[in-house]
Amino acid sequence: MTLALSIDRKRLDAELQKLATISDCPEPPPAVTRIVFTPTDLRGRTYLESLYREAGLEVRVDPIGNTFARWVGSEPHLPAIGTGSHTDAIPHAGLYDGTVGVLGGLEAIRALQRSGFQPRRSIELVMFTSEEPTRFGIGCSGSRAMAGAIDSTHLAGLLDDQGETYDNIRKRAGFMGELKDIRLHQDYYHAWVELHIEQGPELERENIDIGIVKAIAAPASLVFTLQGEGGHAGAVLMPVRRDTLCAAAEMISLIEAIAKQSPSPDLVATVGTIQVYPGAVNSIPSRTLFTLDIRDIDATNRDRLIREIFEQSKSIADRRRIELTIATKNSDPPAIAGQFVMDAIADACLQSGYRSKVMISRAYHDSLFMARLAPISMIFIPCRGGFSHRPDEYSSPEQIAKGVDILARTLAKLAG
Ligand code: HGY
Ligand code: MN
Ligand code: MN
C-alpha cells in the first residue's frame, strides 16, 4: 500500500517555533527552558492539547500529566499503536529535542487523516510528563510510571532542588488521581515508535536521512556526597585539611580515566553538576556533592565500571579522611527494539526512497521504558553537527518532514 502523503512542513515548523516561545529561558528562542510542572510547562501543555483537539483526537491526562491523544481506529478494542515523546526542556536547551516527536507525531496523524487512511488499530499520540532529569534527578518519570518501572511511593517522594515532593508539586500543578492508576496494562499497545532528533553526528556525517534504532543505551545516575571539615582558608594548614572539593576533583579525574579505558566504546561517563558548601572564596569546602551519569549499551560493562569507580573513590576518601556516600538514583537496563517495528520503518524508507541505517541510541528516551510494554523502535533524523541540549540544536524543516513522512507510513503499516 503506497500512501499519497503530504506533510505540511510550514505548519509544523510554525508550531515548533510557537512552542519554543513558551519558555523560561532568559535568552529568546531558539534557546528554550521548560521544566516539568512549572507554569510554563502547563502553558505548553494547554497549547498542545488545543492542537490535539483541533485534529479530532480524544484526549486524556493521567495523574502526573502524561497526555494521551487518541485517533480511534475501526477496531478500538485492539491494542493500539503508540507514538510520541516529551516537551520538557533542560535549561538553555534547543527547540527540537522531544518536540519533534510530539508535534511531528501530530502532523503524521494529520497527514494520514488528510490522505483518507483509516486505522484499524487506534493510533495514540503520547506527550510524556517529564523525560528530562532536571527537576527530580531522574529521567523519564512519566514513562517509568506507565511501565511500572518506578514504585508509586518512590515516585511520590522524589524531591526537587527546593526539597518539595513530586506528589505535592504535581497536585499543585493540577494533576490529581491515584499514582497507581498510571500503569498501563501489558497489551495496551501493540507497538510503539518514537520520532526524535539523533542527538549525535552519525546521520549527518554519513548523509543519511533516517536512523532506525535497534537499541537504546542503559543509563545510570548516581549522587556522590563527600563530608570533610571546613575552616578558614588562611588559618588551616595543608597537612591537616579534609577538603571535600579536592577529594571530589581527584574522584572526577578518576571517573574520566576509567571511562576512557573502558573496553566498550559505548561507555560514557559525565559529571554534570557539583555543589560546594559553604561555597565561599576563603572557606575550605566541608561538603561537596556531584552527580555521575554513566551509560553503555552493555549494562554488564557499565555495572563493572561502576563497581571499580566505587572501590577507587572509597580509597581516595579513606586516604583523605573524608566520609563518602554514593546513592544510586537510577540504574536501568538497555532497550532492544522489536524486529517487526524496525521492519515497518525500513519498508517506509523504501516506499519514500529515503536512505536509512540501523543504529543505536546513546541518549535515553521514553521509548526505553515503553519497551517494557510493547515492541518498540525509534526513527532518528539528522541534527546539525550532532548538537543537542544547546540552543544551536537544529534539524531543517525538510529533514523533519522526512521523519514525519516515515513515521506516518510506519504508523499506517502497524495500525493498518
Ligand atoms: O539524557 C538523555 O539521554 C536524554 O536526552 N534526557
Ligand atoms: Mn534531552
Ligand atoms: Mn529527548
- What residues are paired with 360 via a beta bridge? 215
Q: How does pLDDT run along the chain (416 residues), one tens digit per residue?
A: 578 899 999 999 999 999 999 999 999 999 999 999 999 999 999 999 999 999 999 999 999 999 999 999 999 999 999 999 999 999 999 999 999 999 999 999 999 999 999 999 999 999 999 999 999 999 999 999 999 999 999 999 999 999 999 999 999 999 999 999 999 999 999 999 999 999 999 999 999 999 999 999 999 999 999 999 999 999 999 999 999 999 999 999 999 999 999 999 999 999 999 999 999 999 999 999 999 999 999 999 999 999 999 999 999 999 999 999 999 999 999 999 999 999 999 999 999 999 999 999 999 999 999 999 999 999 999 999 999 999 999 999 999 999 999 999 999 999 98
What ligand 1 atom has the least distance to the C-alpha of 219?
Answer: 3
pLDDT for the residue numbered 403: 98
What ligand 1 atom has the least distance to the C-alpha of 293?
Answer: 1
pLDDT for the residue numbered 1: 58
Under 8 Å between Cβ of 350 and 256: no
Instruction: Express each pLDDT in 310-365 by its tens digit.
Output: 999 999 999 999 999 999 999 999 999 999 999 999 999 999 999 999 999 999 99
What ligand 1 atom has the least distance to the C-alpha of 363?
Answer: 3
pLDDT for the residue numbered 2: 75
Instruction: Measure 136 CA to ligand 3 centroid, in angstroms.
Output: 16
pLDDT for the residue numbered 314: 98
pLDDT for the residue numbered 3: 87
Q: Which helix (H) or strand (E) holds 40?
A: helix 39-54
Residue 410 and residue 117: Cα distance in Å, rounded? 13
Residue of 36, 99, 131, 362 with the most ligand 1 atoms within 8 Å of its CB, for mutation:
131
161: nearest Cα among 223, 93, 230, 99: 223
What ligand 1 atom has the least distance to the C-alpha of 389?
Answer: 5
Residue ranges lining ligand 1, Cβ < 6 Å: 131-132, 139, 363-364
Under 8 Å between Cβ of 338 and 254: no
The ligand minimizing its distance to the Cα of 94 is: 2
Residue 141 and residue 137: Cα distance in Å, rounded? 10
Residue 363 and residue 129: Cα distance in Å, rounded? 18
What ligand 1 atom has the least distance to the C-alpha of 140?
Answer: 6
Instruction: Measure 297 CA to ligand 3 centroid, in angstroms.
Output: 17
157 burial level (CB within 10 Å; 0-12, 13-18, 19+): exposed
Instruction: Measure 262 CA to ligand 1 centroid, in angstroms.
Output: 21
What ligand 1 atom has the least distance to the C-alpha of 131?
Answer: 6
The ligand minimizing its distance to the Cα of 293 is: 1
Alpha helix (H) residue ranges in 148-197 = 152-157, 166-172
Instruction: Measure 126 CA to ligand 2 centroid, in angstroms.
Output: 16
Q: Whose CA is nearest to atom 5 of ligand 1?
A: 363
Q: Whose CA is nearest to atom 3 of ligand 1?
A: 363
Instruction: Measure 413 CA to ligand 1 centroid, in angstroms.
Output: 29
Instruction: Measure 389 CA to ligand 2 centroid, in angstroms.
Output: 6
Instruction: Measure 158 CA to ligand 2 centroid, in angstroms.
Output: 20
